[in-house]
C-alpha cells in the first residue's frame, strides 16, 4: 500500500506543496522529493498514490523537465491546479539586503525575478533545485552574504526573515501543476475538460497542418502546442498538446483524436481532466 497520498518536488513550503494541498486537501500526507525525477519514481513504485508536477508558468514559460518526464513515463494526468506565485527574498536572521551578494533559488523562480537582479547588479543569481530548499540551506548554513527566493511563508517555516516581498516581475504570475497517477480516471463530461496528448507527426509535407485540421473543423480550442526532441533520434520531435472541450463535447474530442491517429505516426493520450480556472 502507498505510504503517502502524493509526492512533490521540493522542501516544506514549496509552491508544489501548496499545489498538492489544493489538489488533494490539507490533510493529505505528502512526500517531499529533492528532484522531480524522484516524484515519478515514487508514484511508479507505489510509494505515493499521486505525483504533483509543475508544467507551465505564465512568466517563465514551460517547465521543460516536467513536460519531458510526463512524456517519458507511463502515467496518466487526472487533474490540474493553477497557483498564484508571489516571491520574497529571504535571508538568515540578522542579514540585510545591502549585505547580500548571492541569491539562490530554482531556475524558474530566478527567471521570474529578472527585474530584481537588474536593479541589484551586485547580486549573483545561483540556481538551486528548489525554492524552499534554497531558503533552508541559507538559514541552516547561516549565510550572511546570501539569500534565497521563495514564498514568504517559507521564512516562517525555517526561521528566516523577509528582506523584500513580492519581487516577481509581474503581479500576474501563475504556475500550472498536473496531478499524475498510474491509473486512469473517468471523464466528467458535465464540466469543462482539458486533454493532454503527445503526437509524433507523419514524415509528410504539411503533416502539422493536417494534424491540426480535425480540431479546427470541430471548433476545439488548442491552448498549447510545443515541440520536444525525441531522445535517441536526432532532429526528430514530438508535439505536446493541450486542448479544451466544453461540457457535453468530450465525444467530439474523441472523434478528433480518432482522426488524428489515422494521419499521425503515433498519438498518446496522457489524460483528460477537469480544467481549473486561474485564480485572481
State the catalytic residues: 175, 177
104-116 burial, b for 16+ CB within 10 Å, e for fewer?
Answer: bbbebbbbbbeeb
**Which helix (H) or strand (E) segment is 109 a member of?**
helix 107-111
Q: What gap in Å lies between CA 201 and CA 224, rounded to an integer?
A: 16
Distance CA 136, CA 263 (A): 51
Residue 224, H or E segment: strand 221-229
Give the list of residues 6+ apart from residue 101 with CB closer than 8 angstroms, or none.
122, 123, 124, 145, 146
H/E element holding 156? helix 153-158
Q: Positive or negative CA dihedral for 86, 114, 121, 104? A: positive
Which residue do the cell numbers 516581475 mark? 169
Q: Give the three-class secondary structure for 143.
A: coil
Q: C-alpha grid cell for residue 177?
A: 501543476
DSSP 8-state class, residue 232:
T
What angle (nearest 5°) sits at the alpha carbon of residue 39, between those of residues 280 and 103? 65
- Could you tell me how far CA 219 lies from the centroid of its own chain? 27
List Cβ neighbours of 111 (8 Å cut-off, separation of 6 or more).
Answer: 59, 60
Residues across the chain: 280
Amino acid at each position: 500500500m502507498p505510504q503517502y497520498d502524493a509526492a512533490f518536488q521540493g522542501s516544506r513550503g514549496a509552491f508544489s506543496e501548496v499545489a498538492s494541498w489544493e489538489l488533494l486537501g490539507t490533510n493529505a500526507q505528502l512526500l517531499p522529493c529533492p528532484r522531480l525525477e524522484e516524484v515519478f519514481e515514487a508514484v511508479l513504485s507505489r510509494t505515493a498514490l499521486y505525483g504533483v508536477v509543475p508544467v507551465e508558468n505564465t512568466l517563465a514559460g514551460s517547465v521543460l523537465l516536467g513536460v519531458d518526464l510526463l512524456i517519458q513515463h507511463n502515467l496518466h494526468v487526472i487533474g490540474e491546479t493553477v497557483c498564484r506565485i508571489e516571491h520574497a527574498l529571504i535571508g538568515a536572521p540578522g542579514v540585510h539586503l545591502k549585505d547580500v551578494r548571492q541569491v539562490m533559488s530554482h531556475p524558474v523562480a530566478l527567471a521570474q525575478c529578472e527585474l530584481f537582479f537588474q536593479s541589484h547588479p551586485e547580486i549573483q543569481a545561483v540556481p538551486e533545485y528548489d525554492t524552499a530548499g534554497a531558503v533552508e540551506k541559507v538559514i541552516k548554513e547561516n549565510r550572511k552574504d546570501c539569500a534565497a527566493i521563495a514564498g514568504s511563508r517559507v521564512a516562517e517555516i525555517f526561521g528566516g526573515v523577509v528582506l523584500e516581498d513580492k519581487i516577481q516581475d509581474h503581479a500576474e504570475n501563475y504556475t500550472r501543476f498536473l496531478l499524475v497517477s498510474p491509473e486512469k480516471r473517468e471523464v466528467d463530461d458535465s464540466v469543462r475538460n482539458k486533454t493532454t496528448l503527445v503526437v509524433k507527426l507523419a514524415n509528410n509535407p504539411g503533416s502539422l497542418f493536417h494534424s491540426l485540421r480535425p480540431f479546427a473543423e470541430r471548433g476545439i480550442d488548442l491552448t498549447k502546442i510545443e515541440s520536444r526532441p525525441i531522445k535517441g533520434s536526432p532532429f526528430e520531435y514530438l508535439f505536446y498538446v493541450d486542448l479544451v472541450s466544453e461540457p457535453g463535447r468530450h465525444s467530439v474530442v474523441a472523434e478528433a483524436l480518432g482522426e488524428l491517429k489515422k494521419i499521425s505516426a503515433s498519438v498518446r493520450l496522457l489524460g483528460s481532466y477537469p480544467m481549473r480556472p486561474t485564480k485572481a
